[in-house]
Amino acid sequence: MTAGGNRAWFDRARQVIPGGVDSPVRSFAAVGGTPYTVVRGEGPYVWDADGRRYVDLVQSYGAVLLGHAHGAVTAALAEAAAAGTTFGAPTPGEVLLAELVTGAVEGCEQVRFVSSGTEAAMSALRLARGCTGRDRVVKFDGCYHGHADALLAGAGSGAATLGLPGSAGVPAGAVADTLVVPYNVVPELDERVACVVVEPVAANMGLVAPAPGFLEGLRRACDEVGALLVFDEVITGFRLGPGGAAARYGVRPDLWCFGKVIGGGLPVGAFGGRREVMAVLAPDGPVYQAGTLSGNPLATAAGRAVLSSVGPADYEALAGRARRFGDGLAGAVGAAGLAVQVPVVGPLVGIFFAEAEVGDYAAARASASSGRYAAFFTAMLERGVALAPGPYEVLFPGMAHDEAVLDEVVALSAEAAAAVAGG
């Protein structure tokens, strides 16, 4: 399987897969060069088809929390696979994972599993509309909720306008009820709004923390008009801690979206909320939602292995390492003479090449337009560190990244930044 290097694999991929990738950011279009083809991962590392090892800070965009090929996950998968991979019938595994999720997230009394974060957000939106009998959805510029038509607005469009399609192929009608507003500003709502959907910590425009009072303000604004508040915790869920962003900021939404960590690296998503809201879903209620592979035994086994392997102390220790890493990165890159901002929220680390703190998508875009990220990305990759190949992503140090590994990344970032600054 590993015959051929990165170039050969990518050339082959481009013959049979559009752009050579199954998700566009992987193509390196934003940073230039040939994508590395991963043949293996272990802990904080991945190896490519050229035989090179990288410290991996992508970690499947946050789907991997324990590190690659963690023994708890691979053992759980082997056991689950031996018992059959999918049945189209209820299984104990989905019940056990739902108990873990609802037990950890206060106020989230029921969850339904799906197969991706996109499906989770799409289904939560339909449920919110079904619950309220309203059509309008408010989302924030620069927040990503997967690629369902209605939520694909605002990936670069102006703020506070009724959404324009963010992709060819999205009919204007699909986003006609999507209102895109700036992040970190509490919008004016009215009684046409079914829900406000938000990344409680924005992690798809680089990393942007919620401004003090923002999430509380959204809760209040929703309550005033009878709209539902939806926290998209596909990234933050079980990564900031067992209670996610809702627990961290003490704001309880009506609906949650989950994905990534809760599937232990397998395709998964989930949406959940209060019992009476979830009761509006079929078969008990009129909102239809379904999936052949939903609650898949392999995905739920991997998810359970991850959630039951970590506790609050592990999250706290990881956040400590991330803070130290962020400080180190900011110091190393700044010392090379590059203006840099390194926001850190729990274990999430962002990097903006900017003079001032970044608080919304407009500032994130301005930072990305300098092209510095691409140069830094390439310089890091050459030195054996894999960052995400795009300026709007974040770094995902996880449970497998110990201080020694992160210190090594900081040291390499000093070299990479010097190379970038030297032109």
Ligand X SMILES: Cc1ncc(COP(=O)(O)O)c(C=O)c1O
Nearest alpha-carbon partner for 107 in 221, 264, 228, 265: 228
Beta pairing partners, 41? 46
Distant-in-sequence, close-in-space partners of 320: CB < 8 Å, separation ≥ 6: none
Residue 166-205 contact track with ligand X, rule CB under 6 A, x = bound: ---------------------------------x----x-
Half-sphere exposure of 234 toward its Cβ, with a 13 Å CA cutoff?
Answer: 30
Beta pairing partners, 43? 68
Residue 116 vs 341, nearer CB to ligand X: 116
Catalytic residue among 45, 56, 249, 260: 260
Q: Report which residue's Cβ sits closest to ligand X.
A: 117
Residue 234 binds ligand X (CB under 6 A): yes
Is 139 designated active site? no
CB of 123 to ligand X, least distance (A): 12
Helix (H, G, I), strand (E, B) or coil at 402: coil
Residue 328 binds ligand X (CB under 6 A): no
Piece in contact with ligand X (CB under 6 A), picked from 1-9, 112-120, 130-138, 185-193 = 112-120
Piece in contact with ligand X (CB under 6 A), picked from 25-33, 229-237, 314-322, 397-405 = 229-237
How far apart CA 136 and CA 420 sit, in angstroms, is 45
Residue 62 vs 326, nearer CB to ligand X: 62
Number of C-beta neighbours around residue 1 at 10 A: 6
Residue 283: asked if its preceding bond is cis (omega within 30°), the reply is yes
Residue 205 vs 417, nearer CB to ligand X: 205
Residue 134-163 contact track with ligand X, rule CB under 6 A, x = bound: ----------xxx-----------------
Is 232 designated active site? yes
The correct pick among 30, 65, 121, 319 for binding ligand X (CB under 6 A) is 121
Residue the block writes with tokens 């102390």: 313
Residue 26 vs 134, nearer CB to ligand X: 26
CA 207 vs CA 25, 156, 363, 371: distances in Å: 17, 16, 12, 17
Q: Is the C-alpha dihedral spanning 33, 414, 240, 228 positive or negative? A: negative
Is 260 designated active site? yes
The correct pick among 61, 183, 214, 373 for binding ligand X (CB under 6 A) is 61
CA 305 to chain centre: 20
Binding positions for ligand X, rule: CB under 6 A: 61, 116-118, 121, 144-146, 199, 204, 232, 234-235, 259, 269
> Which residues are catalytic, by number?
144, 232, 260
